[in-house]
A and B are shown apart, each in its own frame.
Chain A
Amino acid sequence: MSDFSSQTQPAHFSGNQKFLTKVKLLFFRNNPIANFALVIILLLLAIGYIVPIILNLDPFGTSSELLLSPGTMSSNEVYYLLGTDDLGRDLFSRLVIGARSSLNIGFFIVLVSAFVGTSMGLVAGVYGGAIDAFIMRLTDVIMSLPSILLAIVIVAVLGGGLVNAVIAVIIVSMPRYIRVVRSVAMSEMKKQYVVAAQSFGIKRFRILWSEILPNCRAPVIVQSTLGFSEAVLDIAALGFLGLGARPPAADWGAMLADARTYIESAPYLVVLPGVCILITVLCFNIVGDALRDRFDPKLGDSK
């Protein structure tokens, strides 16, 4: 009897247990691959934002030791974890600073394109008519061209450089948000709670803001995660083509482009930034897919 009563006592969580519960919510149930990808992303964030503070990294400083292999010691007894490039710059420093740069740019692109795309999608879905037609034809035009090709055209028009590359990627990223949010807005506008809000005399803009926008959260989060990986890839591609970050900036795409000449003599120069791009894009895609599964009502809360 006492055993039974003790089992039915309400659970009192300690601070640690509450923290663990919150941590558990961050991860995906029954999806170890997504959890692994999420851990890698968290590691990337740590490497990009914490490592440069702890270690005094210099991505621009050159040395006389050119093309040192990873894990070798220079003549003046400086240890280069990932070796040096053709100008004697520390590859580890450049990759870490490149990670921070890629993450910053990715976040900025996602933030702006999600904000503008969501706003335009909401307006199109809620107001309809000529506004909707105009916005959707615009997105059709943008989506009818391959994103990287359109980005190249935009950069060619605006001129090279990181800022213009970012603007180009934002423009090509927006249509996906517009489409996703518009479809949500259009379906939500038919729901009874929106009709109820209208029946209470609430303005259409207010309905858009407080009734429909909260329902766009899940698809926008999913699209942002997938959009982040695309942004990183597009910026790297533009950097590789010499249309992105200008030398000597530590940019993964530009590092790949610079290393092409040494693909046989120093393959690590190509492999390391390439692997960084691959891992970042792959992990964000996996997490994006897992989020899509989690938010999909047809799959329930299985993920």
Chain B
Amino acid sequence: MILSIKNLNIGFYDNQVYKPAIRNLSFELAAGEVLGVVGESGCGKSITNYALMGLLPSNALVTADRLELCGKKLLELNKKQWRDFRGNDVAMIFQDPMNALNPTITIEKQLVEMLSKMQKGKSGKEYRQMALKLLDKVGIPAAHLRLKNYPYELSGGMAQRVVIAMALACKPSILIADEPTTALDVTIQAQILNLLDQIRIDSNMAVIIVSHDIGIISEYADRIQVMYSGEVVESGTARQVTTNPYHPYTKGLLESLPGQGDKVPKSDLNTIPGVVIPIERQVEGCRYVERCPNAQDICHTTPPELIQISNNLSDLSRCHLRG
């Protein structure tokens, strides 16, 4: 396994008060595998990624029984080791490509800076050639012209391809894609996801793809992890989660997709009532209870465990109700 996490807990100190954000998160990821992480805004998807990158603020507290990536115990890394680890072993692409690129520097300079960090001791001309190859690899036409461009001169899709090229310059073992298509047009979304998939196949790289759109995730992920308010509520193969969902929250997400909830398309989409509870709030029972259509008395008093729901060991759900 390239990534192994057991009982990861993340919290933040706010005026000496500890506020938990992620609770008992566990999963594993193999080389070449795609893990899709789904959930509403504020459920802790990005916090987990930032923890894997060592980019959480200084007031964060990260604990885990096991947190290993590419054979390195992440909780034991010092600042310098983190810096060497980032980029070399793990890289990240962000949801808004326009903000992920420096507006005052040309694409060439930004790519060359990445390459010179990763592969020292080459000439400027060699770095430029490598940058051109990377842009070709991510499907940017007339790459030699694009190198001279500033980010504002590129379209959203082009800019995201440049960000992917920068991530590829690192040759990472794991690529974390934090909502890589949110800021893009629907037509461009598929292109970017296909590109990521192609790169994964070519380099046998593991990918964690984060999104709030379970429809998109289901097409590209091998396994899906559904998060709600800092907890994994359902986890399993993409097929299991999307065709036979167990947790009411997963069902709600799938039913809210256009044309999914009912056989006959209708004018009103299904919605999940209420809002996600704040990530730091402590709750007696299930964290989804206030929004759950099937809530029982036990749901209000006892927090559910993550239990196996099929013959497959990785198919898990956090619900008291058996189906």
Contacts and interface: CB of A to CB of B under 8 A. Distances in A.
Contacts of B91: 199-200
B244 interface: no
Interface string B247-284: 00000000000000000000000000000000000000
B100 A203 contact: no
Given A192-B94, A196-B94, A201 B104 contact: no
B166 interface: yes
Interface in A192-214: 192-193, 195-203, 206, 210-211, 214
B104 A217 contact: yes
Contacts of B82: 201
Contact of A193 (B55, B88, B102, B117): B102
Contacts of A214: 102, 104-105
B83 A201 contact: yes
What is the predominant secondary structure among interface residues of chain B facing chain A?
A: helix
A196 B87 contact: no
A199 B167 CA distance: 9
Interface in B94-147: 94, 96, 99-105, 109, 113-114, 117
Interface residues of A, number: 18
A137 interface: no
B86 interface: yes
A215 interface: yes
B85 interface: yes
Contacts of A191: 99
Given A200-B86, A200-B91, A201-B84, A192 B99 contact: yes
Contact of B92 (A196, A202, A203, A210): A196
A201 B87 contact: yes
Contacts of A192: 94, 96, 99-100
A215 B170 contact: no
A217 B105 CA distance: 12
A199 B86 contact: yes
Given A201-B87, A201-B117, A203-B83, A195 B102 contact: no
Nearest to A217: B104
Nearest to B96: A192
Interface string B168-199: 01100000000000000000000000000000
B19 to A, nearest CB: 20
Given A200-B87, A200-B170, A195 B117 contact: no
Contact of A211 (B83, B87, B88, B102): B102
B86 A201 contact: yes
B233 interface: no
Contacts of A198: 55, 86
Contact of B113 (A195, A202, A215): A202
A291 B238 CA distance: 56
Given A192-B100, A193-B101, A210-B105, A199 B92 contact: yes
A272 B316 CA distance: 88
Give the one of B85, B102, B114 with max A CB within 10 A: B102
Interface of B: 53, 55, 82-88, 91-92, 94, 96, 99-105, 109, 113-114, 117, 163, 166-167, 169-170
Given A199-B91, A200-B117, A214-B104, 6 more contacts: A196-B101, A196-B166, A198-B86, A200-B87, A200-B169, A201-B88
The 5 A-B residue pairs with the shortest CB-CB distance in the complex, in nearest-first order: A201-B87, A201-B86, A214-B104, A192-B99, A200-B87
